[in-house]
Amino acid sequence: MAKDYYSVLGVQKGASKDDIKKAFRTLAHKYHPDKKGGDEAKFKEINEAYGVLSDDEKRKRYDSFGSADAGAGFGGGGFGGFNGGGFNAADFDFSQFTGGNGQGFSFDLGDIFGDVFGGGRQKVRRGRDISVDIELDFKESIFGGERTMMVRKATTCGTCKGSGGKPGTSMKKCGTCDGKGKIQETKTSIFGAFSTVTTCNTCSGKGEVPSDPCNECHGEGTVKGDKDIRIVIPPGIEDGEMIRVPGAGEALKNGATGDMYVKVHVRQHKAFEKEGYDLITELPIRITDALLGANLKIETLEGPLEVTIPAGSRDGDEIKVKGRGVPASGGRRGMLRIIVVLDVPKTLSKKAEELAKQMREEGL
């Protein structure tokens, strides 16, 4: 019975080559037998289908005659019958596997199978990221600022400047990779032997090492030490946010330095809260101030501020002061929102009680 290669890949008959390639990549990654939950039979079927549908001539014959006749032109579509050639990691074209000679195959793995085979595109080597915690008072979180923290971490060796060799020493060919900077290893899978290429750890891919190692770092290029790190705190930062300090992580010989991540913990303020770019505080006022209005001084994060209480203010009213909130982009700032709270006395003097009664008689 003829196989429906389009159904195998889950695409329509008129699918484009890009759609077929995307479907193949997804399914091949899912069913690869070296992965947990993989399926060797399904994997072979997927590759057989892709080997036909990714080739214009084979696809044309398949569309005309079906899989049996189409396969006759290229070895039945199985792994052993695919024609020779190099593996294209970008396309994952398994129809290009070398088969038939019993000698296995060698290819440069793409990053889709990097987690399976340990290959993939060469990545930039970099040191470890580090994380620290910092506590800020409320005012500092609102207006930002700078902090300097001492952190113990791997730093570039000051003697050899990270080269790993004594100052002035010559370089020699790396004995581990024979000066190539890469190491090729042959491994065996259910498909046969294949080779992977990895960066040499001894020379970090440079192909050469110092003739005489540095006495300070013993050839490592880095040393453990205390380092002062400057941290810029942006205005309006929230509790729990992270500040990334690029290049402040651990150093690595012949590699990029990692980053440092600072987790912020903001102490609460007894009088102020933050809501977006606004600062909110409460202002207790007397009944007479609410009735008649008043000018009162309050203490803000930036010092004293005189506030006008309009006559007839009620409990819960807001007085908004522009430009006294949290700094925003472009030099703008949010508002200071002052919530009026009527301070009702629990006891009254005899005179105050008489006045209150008179006010009641007036309908107040």
Model pLDDT for residues 117-162, shown as the tens digit of each residue: 444 455 667 889 999 999 999 999 999 999 999 999 999 998 988 8
Lowest mean pLDDT among 65-79, 114-128, 149-163, 172-186: 65-79
Rounded to 10 degrees, what is the CA torsion of 84, 90, 91, 93?
30
Q: Residue 315 corresponds to which tokens in the numbers above?
A: 């409990």
Q: Do both 227 and 149 map to the same domain?
A: yes
What pLDDT shows up at residue 105? 36
Predicted confidence band at 3 (pLDDT cuts at 50, 70, 90)?
Answer: confident
Kind of pairing between the strands at 182-189 and 192-199:
antiparallel
Q: Given pLDDT bands bounded at 50, 70 and 90, which one contains residue 311? A: very high
Domain harbouring 315, CATH code: 2.60.260.20
Q: How many domains does the chain have?
A: 3
Q: Are 152 and 226 in contact (CB under 8 A)?
A: yes
- Please indicate whether residue 73 or residue 28 has the higher confidence score (pLDDT): 28
Contacts with 72 (C-beta within 8 Å, 6 or more apart), sequence order: none
Q: Domain for residue 347, yes or no? A: yes
The residue from 97, 117, 137 where one domain ends is: 117
Query: Domain ends where: 267, 298, 332?
Result: 267
Q: Which residue has the tokens 């970008």?
A: 90
Taking residues 284-302, report their average pLDDT. 93
Residue 267 confidence class, pLDDT cut points 50, 70, 90: very high
Same domain, 106 and 16: yes
300 shares its domain with 250: no
**Pairing status of strand 272-275 against strand 278-285:** antiparallel
What integer pLDDT is reported at residue 315 of this predicted model?
Answer: 92
136 and 53 co-located in one domain = no
**131 and 260 inside one domain:** yes
Same domain, 131 and 263: yes
Asked whether residue 104 falls in the same domain as residue 236, the answer is no
139 and 242 belong to one structural domain: yes
Say if residue 51 is in the same domain as residue 9: yes
* Host domain of residue 103: 5-117
Residues 229 and 350 in one domain: no
Q: Of 215, 182, 184, nearest to 199 (Cα)? A: 182
Mark 60-99 as b/e (b = at least 16 C-beta within 10 Å): ebbeeeebeebbeebbebebebbeeeebebebbbbbbbbb
Query: Per the domain annotation, does 349 fall within a domain?
Result: yes
216 has pLDDT over 80:
yes
**Residue 196 in domain:** no
pLDDT class for 106, splitting at 50, 70, 90? very low
Please say which residue of 267, 284, 304 terminates a domain: 267
Residue 199 placed within a domain: no
Q: Do 266 and 143 contact (CB within 8 A), yes or no?
A: no
CATH code of the domain covering residue 61? 1.10.287.110
